[in-house]
Every structure is written in structure tokens, then in C-alpha cells.
Amino acid sequence: MRLCKNCGTNNSFGSRYCEECGQKLEIKLEFPKIKKPVQINKNAIITLLILAVIITLLVLLISSSGRIEQSLDLYFSGLQKNQMERFIDAFPPQVEKIFTHGSKIDNIKHEDFRMTFDEDYADNLARFGNRFRVRYTVKVKEYWSKEEINSRKIQLYDIWGIPKTSVKDIITVNLRVTLRGDRQEQSYTMALDMVKIRGRWYVYPDYDAFMHTKP
């Protein structure tokens, strides 16, 4: 409908003159408004993607460094492959600096430990064959009390020089270990103490952990 401004009559669509008074009607052509396309800031998108990648990498790094299995993998793969250096890497860094330079652990000399390490590996090969493998499963984690942790902090500092403030937690993990080869298979349970130092878990450096080179 077209409204006549002169007399107020509603005229049919398409009329050029008012059907009542003959006044020429004003014709307004209305076109739909076209919205301007949203401009995308490519630099902002690239920045967000970079931040997302960095955050993801940090999360992965933190999660991997905080896993107990990281040091347990080094511990048991060192036994399996007869790689003493890999085995030692399962312990806090201070262990390598002190123990591998002629010092003793509970009266165990580095040279004697090296000999025992090699002999036990040879014995495992004789029992299980060249396809000797070591597998483990964490069954139970036992958490220590604050008093027990504080007591061990003193021991870690006195023996290894590990700062007390860097020790964040100590737990005991009960494991099921399986030795497997082409000749036989043997499973047994064992317990290892684990110490968390600056966000990473290590095998607690004591006599039992060092001398567990075979069941």
C-alpha cells in the first residue's frame, strides 16, 4: 500500500497518483542494508594459535616430568639392557655426581656395584635367554606422613647434598615385576620409595634400590 501525504488515502501498490485526490505519490525505493563483512585480524589468530601450542607443550612437559613412571622406566630398562648409566638416571642427579666418582653408598663402592650389575645381567640372560625383558605394573601407592618426609629430608641432605626445600614429597610404590624371555617367565612383587624433587619423581637412593638388580 502507498499512503497519500495529501489526503491520507491508502492507495494500491503500483499507483503513481492518489486514487482519491489525484496527488502524485512519492515512491521510495528501499533496498536491504548490506552488512559490512567482518574483518578478521590474521595476526591475532596467529598469536592465539601460537599461545595454544605453547600452553599445550607446557602441559605435556609438566605432566611428563611429574610422572612416577618416567624414572621407573629408566630404572627397569637399565636393568633389562645392562645400561648402568640409564639405571643411575632414575635417581636424583646428585647420585651420578657423587656415586660415579668413587664415593660409596652404604659401604658399596662404585666398582663393586658395576661388577654386581654386570654379573646379575649375565645371570638373567642365562635364565631367560637373549630375549630377556622386564615389565612392571604399579599396584599401590603409599603416601608418607609429614614427619617421615622431614626425617628423610635430613638424610638426603647429609648423604647426597639434596636441599631440603627441594624435596616436595616421598611415597612408596608397590610393584608387580615380570621377567620374561624365550625360556621362562617369573613374576614377583617389590616396593620402591620415590622422592619428588622440584616437580619430578626419582627413585629414592638407598641400598635396597641400588642392589635390586635381580629378584
In this predicted structure, what is the pLDDT of residue 202?
95
In a domain, 82, yes or no: yes
Grid cell at residue 204: 629414592
Gap between the Cα atoms of 143 and 134, Å rounded: 26
Same domain, 115 and 24: no
Gap between the Cα atoms of 16 and 26, Å rounded: 8
In a domain, 166, yes or no: yes
**pLDDT band for position 6 (cuts 50, 70, 90):** confident
In this predicted structure, what is the pLDDT of residue 59?
46
φ, ψ of residue 162 in degrees (nearest 5): -80, 120
Gap between the Cα atoms of 14 and 36, Å rounded: 32
CATH number of the domain that 94 lies in? 3.10.450.100
pTM, to two decimals: 0.65
Same domain, 188 and 85: yes
Domain interval for residue 16: 1-34
In a domain, 59, yes or no: no
| Number of neighbours of residue 8 by Cβ within 10 angstroms | 10
> pLDDT tens digits, residue range 89-102?
999 988 877 666 65
Q: What is the DSSP letter of 91?
A: S
Q: What is the CA radius of gyration of the chain?
A: 38
Same domain, 155 and 110: yes
Give percent of the chain above pLDDT 90: 33
Q: Taking 50 as the threshold, does the pLDDT of residue 64 lie above it?
A: no
Same domain, 28 and 126: no
Q: Taking 90 as the threshold, does the pLDDT of residue 151 lie above it?
A: yes
Q: Taking 90 as the threshold, does the pLDDT of residue 104 lie above it?
A: no
In a domain, 39, yes or no: no
In total, how many domains does the chain have?
A: 2
Same domain, 150 and 80: yes
Grid cell at residue 27: 515512491
> Cα-Cα-Cα-Cα dihedral of 159, 163, 166, 168, to 10°?
50
More confident residue, 65 or 125: 125
CA distances from 80 to 21, 23, 137, 185 (A): 107, 104, 15, 14
Q: Taking 50 as the threshold, does the pLDDT of residue 62 lie above it?
A: no
